[in-house]
Amino acid sequence: MKWLVLLGLMTFSECIVKIPLRRVKTMRKALMEKNTLNSFLKEHDYRLSQISSRGSNLTIHPLRNIMDKLYVGNITIGTPPQEFQVIFDTGSSDLWVPSIFCNSTACSTHVMFRHLQSSTFRPTRKIFSINYSSGRMKGVVVHDTVRIGDLVSTNQAFGLSVAEYGFEGMTFDGVLGLNFPDMSSIGAIPIFDNLKNQGAISEPVFAFYLSKNKREGSVVMFGGVDHRYYKGELNWVPLIQADDWSVHMDSISMKGNVIACSGGCEAVVDTGTSLIEGPRNIVNNIQKLIGATPQGSKHYVSCLTVNTLPSIIFTIKGINYPVPARAYILKNSRGECYTAIKENRLRTYRETWILGDVFLRRYFSVFDRGNDRIGLARAV
């Protein structure tokens, strides 16, 4: 293949390597066993309340709301910089953008990285593939300088796609993953970890404010928290394990009755997922309670019911997070209303929910790698 020759890479069959996920006992679990977790967190707790946008410790990067379906922001790659629109995704760990050698229809409508124009570009012999719920891609691993606003990650490993499927017509060029290193499909250090290791950010935290019905105004912030984007106090929830942005959820209820997650379940806080997703049979039961009618891949309701349907309440660590009908009922371009709840495709042995943008528009979210926890507060 021409792209393999130009990049100096071996063929796919020679290079396929499966990267095992490391499952080790986390510090949180070890400390719990010694009953020292609370004192440890108290001693090492980051003073997020003292960090604001008026200081030099916080970088606020603008995102654009694309019709309440996804949020994209600009980054640059290479020297001189080439600009791309990417999804900042807490559900994955890798950065990738299209290569000029990608012949897929999806790539032809997006900005493609021109590696020969970058003086800091460095190829490798590794290939990879990633499967998303909405599509899949495969590509090669390379290195170059990546910038998120004023933040600079040098010699950053990322992917160049050579084939993409399912991303036709999408308004983003690639994905920037913000999950843990263990979740990396390319077996590289994610950009957030590199920024932290290179001293570009002062505190190992990032946060999201996602606007509703407004193209501008959404942000991702690195190195701290700006209190102007939320009301009240942040409620902190420990991660189930320090290798994914997943927390324990107590229940999901409506009008005082538990309708899902009875006895507790897992909740993945995912900025790269548009809707709220759960197991098929449970989601179908909720659609019936709402009175939604299936049609194709969606469930529709009368738009007149938005003001009468009850809130769905997600209880996490004893605190209720209501999502009203006006948030979980969306309207398409034809003026039809449908529910923003769908089945997920996760294959897990326990009930797992994905709290995507429908939930995160209501609640400002902080992802704290220093303390392995997520903070939630009512968004302004």
Please tell me whether residues 132 and 115 are part of one structural domain.
yes
Residues 76, 85 contacting (CB under 8 angstroms): no
Instruction: Give me the percent of the chain exceeding a pLDDT of 70.
Output: 85
Residue 184 lies in a domain: yes
* pLDDT score for 112: 97
Please tell me whether residues 140 and 155 are part of one structural domain.
yes
pLDDT confidence of 169, banded at 50, 70, 90?
confident
* pLDDT score for 346: 79
- What average pLDDT does range 52-80 have in this prediction? 88
Kindly report the CATH number assigned to the domain that includes residue 90: 2.40.70.10
Residue 286 lies in a domain: yes
Residue 37 lies in a domain: no
Please tell me whether residues 252 and 368 are part of one structural domain.
yes
Is pLDDT larger for residue 25 or for residue 170? 170
* pLDDT score for 31: 38
Residue 313: give the domain boundaries.
226-379
Phi-psi region of 232 (alpha: psi -120 to 50; beta: other; left: phi over 0): left
Is pLDDT larger for residue 349 or for residue 66? 66
Handedness of CA 170, 171, 172, 173 (dihedral sign): positive
* pLDDT score for 294: 95
The pTM is what?
Answer: 0.87
Tokens 């300088």 correspond to what residue? 145
Residue 50 lies in a domain: no
216/186 Cα distance (integer angstroms) = 32
Please tell me whether residues 65 and 123 are part of one structural domain.
yes
Q: Please say which residue of 219, 247, 272 terminates a domain.
A: 219
Please tell me whether residues 170 and 71 are part of one structural domain.
yes
Q: Which two tokens stand for residue 288?
A: 């019936």
Is pLDDT larger for residue 9 or for residue 120? 120
Residue 256 lies in a domain: yes
Q: Please say which residue of 219, 237, 257 terminates a domain.
A: 219
* pLDDT score for 134: 79
* pLDDT score for 356: 98
Please tell me whether residues 186 and 65 are part of one structural domain.
yes
Q: Is it the case that residue 290 has pLDDT exceeding 90?
A: yes
CB under 8 Å to 351, separation ≥6 — which residues?
Answer: 260, 261, 265, 266, 278, 279, 282
Please tell me whether residues 302 and 349 are part of one structural domain.
yes
Lowest mean per-residue pLDDT among 8-17, 246-255, 284-293: 8-17
Q: Please say which residue of 219, 246, 261 terminates a domain.
A: 219
Q: pLDDT digit string (tens) for 84-123?
A: 999 999 999 999 999 999 999 999 999 999 999 999 999 9
* pLDDT score for 347: 75
Total domains present in the chain: 2
Q: pLDDT digit string (tens) for 186-225?
A: 999 999 999 999 999 999 999 999 999 899 999 999 999 9
Q: pLDDT digit string (tens) for 22-46?
A: 333 333 333 343 444 444 444 444 4
**Counting beta carbons within 10 angstroms of the beta carbon of residue 35, is it exposed (0 to 12), middle (13 to 18) or buried (19 or more)?**
exposed
Please tell me whether residues 66 and 209 are part of one structural domain.
yes
Average of per-residue pLDDT values in the chain: 87
- Is there a catalytic annotation at residue 193? no
* pLDDT score for 56: 56
Residue 99 lies in a domain: yes
20/43 Cα distance (integer angstroms) = 34
Please tell me whether residues 202 and 289 are part of one structural domain.
no
Residue 84 exposure: Cα atoms within 13 Å on the Cβ side: 30
* pLDDT score for 189: 96
pLDDT confidence of 10, banded at 50, 70, 90?
very low
Please tell me whether residues 289 and 311 are part of one structural domain.
yes
pLDDT confidence of 135, banded at 50, 70, 90?
confident
Q: pLDDT digit string (tens) for 144-168?
A: 999 999 999 999 999 999 999 999 8
Please tell me whether residues 160 and 239 are part of one structural domain.
no
Q: Which of 94, 193, 270, 372 is catalytic?
A: 270
* pLDDT score for 311: 98
Please tell me whether residues 127 and 173 are part of one structural domain.
yes
pLDDT confidence of 178, banded at 50, 70, 90?
very high
- What average pLDDT does range 52-65 have in this prediction? 78
Within 10 angstroms of residue 332's Cβ, the number of other Cβ atoms is 11
* pLDDT score for 57: 80
- Is there a catalytic annotation at residue 270? yes
